[in-house]
Every structure is written in structure tokens, then in C-alpha cells.
Structure 1
Amino acid sequence: MKHRLPGQVTRILLFSLLALQLGACSSTRLSYQFADRGVVWWVEDYVDLTGAQEDALLQDLRQMREWHCQTQLTRYSDWLAELRRETARGELPPEHIRYHRQQLAAFLEPLSARAVPVASRLLKSLTDEQVRELVASMEEQQAEYRREYLDEDTPQEAVERVVERTERWLGDLNDRQVAIIRQWLADREGATEAWLDGRGNWQAAFSSLLEQRRQADFEDRLRDMIIHYQRYQGEAYQARAGRNADDIVQLTHKLLVAADDRHWRHLQEETSDLRQDMVALACPAEPATAAR
């Protein structure tokens, strides 16, 4: 089995810069600076590229990162400053949590738009053999996820996984917060299977699209799959999508209500550190060429 890079990026080249950049604060700057190479390594976890394909992808990614640091990081730092001001009050109502989740989704829109041409150029360059390798790798990972999250996963392991992700932002959780997570997972029975089924549906549609990568409308169809991905995940998943978003908002709110002062301080520190990284990583826009 090929080595899998860490993270939750589930679609090739989608949201790669944002996902790498919002990793652990201590390594954010280093991750961002080497994001282009990291994405290439991640892609090659699915399909072996030729030297020419790797060079072309790196060039595209470096241009994308330049655009990103010039135009997007200031938006992130402004949002983080707003989030820090709100959390300083020691409360965050559900409607505010929902707003901040919407802000994150809004950050992904321009990033997705920039990623589509990059992904399209790469996918169009793949040989039939490389496409078969890519599809096989996706199917292998899907089977791996099913074993990990359905066949072999236990309720306690699921609780520990959510606790670990939450402690990244809040620090060590108290007993009440762990109990909230345990109950939340128990109430969401079937959610993981729905997610895996939806993921499988998207991958099946993507695999079919790859067979038509030489057609003139390939990039437009790829864009639709990326921007409107829920359409391709099946009716069962779409029916749960809105509920899933509300569930996460409610879980976040309950965890914050149960938080001690130390949790709010930890959240403030993490938000502040990440904002400092965004400010440090932002690069000035290139000056406009003077008209002659």
C-alpha cells in the first residue's frame, strides 16, 4: 500500500494550500512554504507522474501559491482577528459559529476556482495506464477508510479521534466535554456510512469523467464536480448534509458552553498564533506596470 500523506484532503489538488496552511500552528509557515512540493508528493501517492508532468504541476502550484499569498492570506488574518475578538468574551452563540463556518467555506471558493485549471491540465496529461493507477489508488483508499471507520472502528476510538481534533483548539478537555462528544457520536449513528457512500459515489463519477478527459468540455465538467460536489454524492448524503452542518454547530456550541477559562485561553492563543503566521506569510502584490 502506498504511503498516505497526513490530512483530510479528499479530492486531488482541491483545497490543498488551505489544508496545508491550516495545519499545526508550529509548522504552519514551513508547511506553507513547501506546499507546492507537498501537493506533488500527495498526488504521487495516487499516481506516478513523469518528470515533465511533475515539472508542469510544480510550476502551476508555485503560481497558485503566489496568487494565494498575495490575495488570500490577508483575508484569513482579518477573519482570525474577528474570531479572536469574539472569543475574548468567553461565549460564542450558535449563529456566530455558523457564520464562522460560512466564512471558511467562502475562503474555499476562490481557491477551488484556481485549482480547477491546475487539476484539469494534470488530468488531461495522464495516460490511460496512469488513469487506471489513479482509479485503483482511490478505490484502495476508499476500502481502507471503510475498514478503518466502519469494520474495525470502535465507539471509543471514534470518541478519541474527535477528542484529539478538538483538543487541538481547546487543549485538554474536561469530563463533561468528553461526555458531550460521546453522546453526539451516539446520536449520529449511520453518519459515517453515509459519508463513505457519498465519497464513493463522487469517486465513481470522477472515474467516469476521467475517461472523457480529452473532450472539450472536460474542464467545465470537472469544475462542476468540484464546486457542486454534493450533487455527485447521492441523494442519501445530500439529505444528511444540512443536518450534518447543524450537528457540528451544536456540538461546537455545547463544547464551548462546557469550557473552562483555560479552554478559552487556549483557543485565544491558537487563534492568535495562527493569525501571526498568516500575517508573516502574506506577500505583497506585484506592483502594476506603469503605462507608457
Structure 2
Amino acid sequence: MRVSLSRSLIIGALMLLLSACSALRIAYNQAPDWTYWWLDGYVDFSDEQSPRVREAVVAWFKWHRSTQLPDYAALLAQARIQVGETMTPAQICQWTDELTDRIDRAVDHAIPALAGSVRSLSAQQLRHLERKFEKNNQTYMAEYLQSSADERTKAQVKRVAERAEFFFGKLDAGQRERLAQGVAESPFDAQLWFAERKLRQQDIVQTLRRLSTQPISDDETQAALKALFRRNVSSPRPSYRAYQLRLKDYNCSFAAQMHKLSTSEQRRRAAKQFRLWEEDFRSLAADNSR
């Protein structure tokens, strides 16, 4: 299922961090700088804004390291056990909800520190944001909206296979065949998501423009940003919300089917990876020097 901009950032960062246990600690320790430059790429912070944003990002990671990483480690400990067992669609969906709750918590904690910087955004910076969205949309079209349905399906199969192999290692021929069938049967609609994506981008720009041009308190700014994030998580458009639920249900069922097809060796590999990541998260959480 496609996710919002904020959620994509966090999920993408987690995938990067988990790419190898030896790289996880290095990547996490560098994450404050990486996050600042990611944000800067969207709005091009001024000399006055930059120190405040850097300070907010560093403070957020200190909170995240001490309070969230132990929770992630505990979650991975649970995953390590369950990955060796048969899992139902309901269990898969529960894991999806667990991850969503943690993303929500992370974003909610970031909003208060960034509210002041949001109110200081200029018209030029908002135009920069719009251009960044346009560039991202061109990338999305190249990756998801190929000229033929066959090309789109092949690209999606490749993406889903890479995600599966990220955890379980190389898939065999039978697993790849079932994966391709599942992708073909999926209700995922790249064009529908693209239309929703552009509406959300417009909502972001309009909200930030209002917050940066109208007299508004810090509490009102935070409330508006939280509402904006909620609209990105759950669309205000009923038809799209219904689509999101259909897609989530399908993805949970499909993931459970693919897990059922995994071999004992693949499950042991996934469990080993979870254990290594769990240990790294505990080690990072214990490092209070940063």
C-alpha cells in the first residue's frame, strides 16, 4: 500500500537503517544530518531557519534514541518469534497497525519543534516545495506509470520481490510465480494513487501557505499540522479511504500467503536478521553520548 510523504520518509529511513546490521549503527548516528538535508531539499532553509531546524532535528533524534529504539527492539523480539510460525492475515494487519502507531508517535513528537519554522516559510520556499513535488511526481511516473500495463506489472513484481527478498533471501521459482500472480490480482491502482498524491501535495502547500501568511498561534499551528498529517494518513475522500481499506486487507492476506510459502531456512534467515537488528537498536538506545 502506498503511504504518505511523512510516512514514506520514516519507512524509507528504517529500510535504509535495516539494510545491514553493520551499517545500522553508522546510519542511525548520521541520521540527524541526513534528515536535515532531506528537509532542506524540500524548502531550502534560510540562514536564519537552518540552526533552529538542525536543533529541532537533533533534539528529536535524542528523544527517539532514548524512548523509541527500546520499543522497536521489543517489537523486533516479537517479530523474531512470530516469523518462524504460520501467520494469519489478521496478524499481518496487526503488525501493520503496530508500525503505523509508531510512525504516528514519531511525527506527533516532531510537530511542536517545527511549528515555528513552518510559520516562517516564505513564498519563494513554498514555490521551491512545489517544484520539488513536481520533480518527485516525474520520478513516480517513470517508476509506476509506464506506457503499457505489462511494463507496470513487471516493475511492480520486481519491487515486491525485492521487498520479500530483503527479509527472506532469494525466492524460488514457485514463490516468484505466486508473487507475480498476487501482484496481478492486487487492487493497487498506480494512477488512482497518483491522483490522490497530487491532491495531498496541494493540501500540504495550501496549509503551509496559510500558516505562514496568517496570524496564528503556536498551538493553532501544531493543531493544523497534526490535522494535515492525519489527512495524509487517512484521506478525507471516502472513495479513496474505501480503496485504502481494500488494499490493506488484500496486502495482509497476500503477505500471509507468501509467508506460508516460505521455507524453514528462509524463516530462520528472517529471524536471524530480526535478532541482529534488535541487538543494534538496544545498543543504540544505550548510547547516551549523542
User: What is the TM-score normalised by the length of structure 1?
Assistant: 0.86
Equivalent residue, structure 2, for 1:283 = 286
> Percent identical across equivalent pairs?
21
Aligned with residue 255 of structure 1, among 246, 255, 258: 258
Q: What is aligned with 1:234?
A: 237
Between stretches 160-169 and 123-132, larger displacement belongs to 123-132
Q: 2:36 aligns with which of 19, 36, 40?
A: 40
Distance 1:139 1:249 in 2: 32
Runs of 5+ in structure 2 lacking a partner? none
Amino acid at match of 2:131: A
Q: CA–CA distance in 2 between the matches of 1:227 and 1:21?
A: 21
Could you tell me how far 1:10 is from its partner in structure 2? 5.0
User: 1:170, CA displacement in angstroms?
Assistant: 0.7
Aligned residue pairs, count: 277
Q: Residue type of the partner of 2:251?
A: I
SS at the partner of 1:212? helix
Give the stretch that moved more between structures: 71-80 or 276-285: 276-285
Q: 1:284 and 1:262 mapped to 2: Cα distance?
A: 33
Kept in 2: contact 1:70–1:283 (CA 8 A): yes
User: For residues 16 and 30 of structure 1, what CA distance do their matches in structure 2 show?
Assistant: 18
Query: Shift in Å at residue 189 of structure 1?
Result: 5.2
1:132 aligns with 2:127: yes
CA distance in 2 between counterparts of 1:187 and 1:233 reads: 26
Higher helix share: 2
**Cα pair 2:182 2:254 within 8 Å, conserved:** yes
Following superposition, the deviation at residue 72 of structure 1 comes to: 0.9
The 1-side partners of 2:250 and 2:271 are apart by 24
Q: In structure 1, what is the equivalent of residue 95 of structure 2?
A: 100
What are the Cα deviations for residues 25-52 of structure 1, in whole angstroms up to 9, with x where unaligned? 3322112111111011112222322233
Change (3 A) 1:259 1:171: same
Q: Per-residue deviation at 1:61?
A: 0.8
1:63 aligns with 2:59: yes
- TM-score normalized by structure 2? 0.87
Cα shift at 1:125 = 2.0
C-alpha distance 284-65 of structure 1, shift in aligned 2 (>3 A): same
C-alpha change, 1:236 and 1:144, in structure 2 (3 Å) is: farther
Within a 5 Å distance, the mapping from 1:111-130 to structure 2 comes to: 111-130=106-125
Gaps of 5+ in 1: 1-7, 287-292
Structure 1 position 18, deviation (Å): 6.1
Are 1:57 and 1:122, in contact at CA under 8 Å, matched by a contact in 2? yes
Q: CA deviation at 1:145?
A: 0.7
The structure, 1 or 2, with the larger RCO (C-alpha pairs under 8 Å, 6+ apart) is 2
Q: Residue 284 of structure 1: CA displacement?
A: 7.2
User: Residues 4 and 233 of structure 2 are in contact (CA less than 8 Å); yes or no, is this contact kept in structure 1?
Assistant: no
2: CA distance between counterparts of 1:233 and 1:97?
25
Bigger drift between 264-273 and 45-54 goes to: 45-54
Q: Contact 2:161–2:176 (CA<8 Å) still a contact in 1?
A: yes
1:200 Cα shift? 1.2
Moved over 6 A (4+): none
